[in-house]
A and B are shown apart, each in its own frame.
Chain A
Amino acid sequence: MRRVKHTSINRAARVGIPVFPGAFAIGISFGVLARTEHFSSVAALVMSATTFAGSSQIAAVTLLGGGGGGTVAAAIVAALLLNSRYAPIGISVARAFQGRLPKRFVEAQLVVDESWALGNGDRSLILGIGAILWVLWVGGTAIGLALGSVIGDPSRYGIDGAFAALFVALLATQVGTRTRRKVAFLGAAIAAVLTPFTPAGVPIVVATAAVLVGWRRP
Chain B
Amino acid sequence: MSDAWVVVLVVGVGTMLLKAVGPVGLAHRELPPRAERLLDLVAPAILAALVVTETFATGRSLVIDARLAGAGAAVLLVLARAPYWLIVICGALATAGVRALH
Chain A residues packing against B (C-beta within 8 Å): 17-19, 21-22, 38-40, 43, 46-47, 50-53, 56-57, 60, 64, 71-72, 75-76, 79-80, 83-95, 97-98, 101, 104-105, 107-109, 111, 113, 116-117, 120, 155-172, 174-175, 179-181, 183-188, 190-192, 195-200, 203-204, 207-215, 218
> Once bound together, how far apart are the Cα atoms of A182 and B62, in whole Å?
22
Residues of B within 8 A of A211 (CB): 38-39, 41-42, 45
Question: B15–A158 contact, CB under 8 A?
Answer: no
CB distance from B18 to the nearest CB of A (A): 4
CB distance from B65 to the nearest CB of A (A): 9
CB of B75 closer than 8 Å to a CB of A: yes
Residues of B within 8 A of A185 (CB): 48
Since A18-B85, A169-B77, A185-B48 are in contact, a sample of 4 more A-B pairs with Cβ atoms closer than 8 Å, ordered by chain A residue number, is: A47-B12, A79-B7, A203-B49, A215-B34
Residues of A within 8 A of B64 (CB): none
CB of B101 closer than 8 Å to a CB of A: no
CB-nearest residue of chain A to B90: A165
Question: B27–A196 contact, CB under 8 A?
Answer: no
> Once bound together, how far apart are the Cα atoms of A47 and B2, in whole Å?
14
CB distance from B25 to the nearest CB of A (A): 7
Cβ-Cβ contact count across A and B, 8 Å cutoff? 320
Of the residues B19, B47, B55, B88, contact of A108 by C-beta under 8 Å? B19
Question: A184–B15 contact, CB under 8 A?
Answer: no
Chain A contact residues: over half helix, strand or loop, or mixed?
A: helix
* Interface residues of B, count at CB 8 A: 80
Chain B residues packing against A (C-beta within 8 Å): 2-8, 10-16, 18-29, 31, 34, 36-57, 59-62, 66-71, 73-75, 77-78, 83-85, 87-97, 99
CB distance from B96 to the nearest CB of A (A): 3
Known: A183-B41, A204-B46. A76 touches B71 (CB 8 A): no
Known: A80-B18, A196-B61. A207 touches B92 (CB 8 A): no
Known: A40-B4, A76-B10, A195-B56. A108 touches B50 (CB 8 A): no
Q: List 13 A-B contacts (CB under 8 A).
A: A17-B85, A22-B88, A47-B12, A94-B25, A105-B20, A155-B99, A158-B93, A158-B94, A163-B91, A164-B54, A168-B74, A169-B88, A195-B53
Question: B52–A195 contact, CB under 8 A?
Answer: yes
Q: Which one of B24, B34, B71, B83 has the highest number of Cβ atoms from chain A below 10 Å of its Cβ?
A: B24
